[in-house]
Amino acid sequence: MKVGILCENYFPTLGGQQGHIYHLRRHLESPDDGSPPVEVRVIVPRVACADWYGPPDDASVIRPARSWQIRGRGSASQITPSPAALPALKRIFAQERFDLLHIHAPCDLGLPSWALWSFKGPIVGTLHSYWPPDDPRRFLAPWYRYVMRRMTRVIAVSAAARDAIARYAKFDCTIIGNGVDCDAFEAARPDPRFADGMRNVLALGRLEPRNGTDIVIDAFGRVARERREVRLLLAGDGPLRARYEAQARRLPAHVADRIVFLGAVWNGRPNLFKVAHCFALGARCTSFSILLLEALAAGLKVAALPGAGIDRAGDHWALVQVASSESPADYAEVLLRALEPSTPVDVTRAQHMARRFDWSLTAPRIRRVYEQALDHA
């Protein structure tokens, strides 16, 4: 089987889709269950980026056109608007002769659109995102319906991700949660920079409004006034970094000194989780949260905001301590509870939950959807 995996968001930018595609490709090419390997090509845009994060490209990563970064609704994404992408994709499809095309976030404009108009074989689409009911999106309903009609099979990472599109289009869907490399997080070694006896609160994600970094900082400020031994590790970068650094500096000096901005992190993530004592998940809206899964794989307690979508984002959220509101005071309360020492039972429960989503189980589920799409075609 030869599969093209296509998406707008891939390295050198960082995010959930990027990691999902990277690990999916790895497990399709080298399956753990004895299945024949799948030949994979990753088709993604050329990104204008000063710093490269993530793995370097190899011969199986194809970049047919340049993308632009767009911002809106508290987040950022890539879009490839150039019409030159259409003939470029046609050449790629003619040369590679894929048995199947797998489009991640198929409703995105850009490469997914050009691919829908040029690929002639079976298509599997994976829905990754959730957003609350939104009146302006009803004007896009015809587009969502067209995209779903073009899908041979549809995967959603959660019921929340499915429901975001199901408001506007009818389609059958298989729910397969995101994957996690449990062995990597269980076997990681604590980052020596922060293995100094302090109790570390780890927060990771792009520094943008959607991820609630402002509330995490304010809540940590309240916790740090009571607990002198706690430290906040903020891993990630983004357009609001300067604003959040200024927010941290406005706290008392003995608190601000314990907030560490680490910048973007890719390879060192498991070691950061290993040195943490709890994970702060400040997302204001979520469809699944790979970061939560990684925290559970590391055996951590998780303190989260009551973000939109979590009630339909998956049963791994049952182990999360969720604040009663988005106020820093309420979030500080759940952070304090999450900082209490974990028992061996706590760690085991978290890691057993993460094991349900290990890539050794998730990749074969996705492969079965490929086989269904090929049989249908």
Question: What is the pLDDT at residue 71?
Answer: 74
Residue 146's domain spans which residues?
2-179+358-376
* Same-domain status, 305 and 369: no
Q: What is the mean pLDDT of the chain?
A: 95
Question: What is the pLDDT at residue 328?
Answer: 96
| Number of structural domains the chain divides into | 2
* Same-domain status, 195 and 307: yes
- Cis check for the bond before 12: say yes or no (omega within 30 of 0): yes
**What's the whole-model pTM score?**
0.95
Average pLDDT over residues 45-71: 91
Q: Considering only CA atoms, give the Rg of the chain.
A: 21
**Those residues with Cβ within 8 angstroms of residue 341's Cβ, 6 or more apart along the chain or in another chain:** 277
Question: What is the pLDDT at residue 134?
Answer: 78
Tokens of 21: 């595609």
End-to-end CA distance of the chain: 14
* Same-domain status, 318 and 335: yes
Residue 197: what residue type? G
**For helices 111-118 and 85-96, what crossing angle results, to 10°?**
50
* Same-domain status, 77 and 214: no
* Same-domain status, 218 and 350: yes
Question: What is the pLDDT at residue 288?
Answer: 95
* Same-domain status, 19 and 70: yes
Q: Are 9 and 110 in contact (CB under 8 A)?
A: no
164-180 b/e (C-beta count within 10 Å ≥ 16 → b): bbbebbebebbbbbbbb
Average pLDDT over residues 285-289: 93
Question: What is the pLDDT at residue 270?
Answer: 96
Q: For 298-353, what is each residue's pLDDT tens digit? A: 999 999 999 999 989 899 999 999 999 999 999 999 999 999 999 999 999 999 99
User: Among candidates 211, 199, 222, which has minimal Cα distance to 278?
Assistant: 199
* Same-domain status, 99 and 230: no
Q: Are 124 and 150 in contact (CB under 8 A)?
A: no
* Same-domain status, 173 and 56: yes
* Same-domain status, 202 and 156: no
Q: Give the 3-state secondary structure percentages of the chain, helix then strand then coil, rounded to 5.
A: 40, 20, 40
Q: How far is CA 345 from the centre of its chain?
A: 27
* Same-domain status, 252 and 346: yes
Q: Is the pLDDT of residue 135 over 80?
A: no
Q: Are 33 and 360 in contact (CB under 8 A)?
A: yes
* Same-domain status, 253 and 207: yes
Which of helix, strand or coil describes residue 74? coil
Distances (CA, A) of 290 to 218, 238, 295: 24, 18, 9
Q: Is the pLDDT of residue 12 over 80?
A: yes
- CATH number of 35's domain: 3.40.50.2000
User: Among candidates 189, 67, 171, 92, which has minimal Cα distance to 125?
Assistant: 171
* Same-domain status, 99 and 238: no
Q: Is the pLDDT of residue 74 over 70?
A: no
Average pLDDT over residues 150-177: 97
Average pLDDT over residues 200-225: 96
